[in-house]
Amino acid sequence: MRFPWRGYVNQLTYAADLRHRVDDEFVGRVADELIRQRFFTLPVADYHRAATEALGSGERIAGEPDDEDATRDFLARLVRALDDRGPWPEPPYSTSGTGEWAALRAAPVIARVPLTEREIGATLNRVFAQEPPGAGDVRVLILRLRTGQRVALRASRPFTEPGVDLVTYDDPASTVAAFGELTGIEAEPR
């Protein structure tokens, strides 16, 4: 089975002007953002693999109006920059699919985040999903913290109204502390 590299490469090259060769500073900034996983939200290893496979594919990589040689040069230098920065640290948090909502649905509320759903989504660069899909009554964002705790942010108010529940089965005090430290979002313990 082929790895679907094109979507990853499109993300990597989207904001770059690849009609000409980019400078090393730009390559370094993209590598750093991949490792931070704030803007690029998928695992850095997936982007690395996609760039490597794209370069070895023999297919055209550059989109219009980008230059093929400049695009290949950018990806090759990006792979080297990521290799130089390895091993990559585990991100502070990662998004889990809404399939995990069933396991957290009955978890107790351990804290309240005094922000709107939009503010939280913008801070984390993640999107809440409706549960169940299409119903719109509850929107959730499930995170796995680097500490191993799994939490759900549950919004049931309008997008612009503050107050999102933080739910988990994990220890409340340590989870609220880890959530604040790793996301930069303060929550009010219950």
Domain boundaries, the chain: 5-84, 93-189
**Whole-number Å distance between alpha carbons of 120 and 117:** 5
Tokens 């002007």 found at? 17
- Report if pTM > 0.85: no
Looking up tokens 């998928």, which residue turns up?
42
| Span 42-51, pLDDT tens digits | 889 999 999 9
Measured CA to CA, the distance from residue 99 to residue 130 in angstroms comes to 11
Residues composing the chain: 190
- Mean pLDDT estimate for the chain: 91
Integer Cα distance of 105 and 142 in angstroms: 11
**pLDDT digits 0-9 by tens, 21-77:** 999 999 999 999 999 887 888 889 999 999 999 999 999 999 888 999 999 999 999
- Classified as helix, coil or strand, 110 is strand
How far is Cα 182 from Cα 184, in angstroms, rounded to an integer? 6
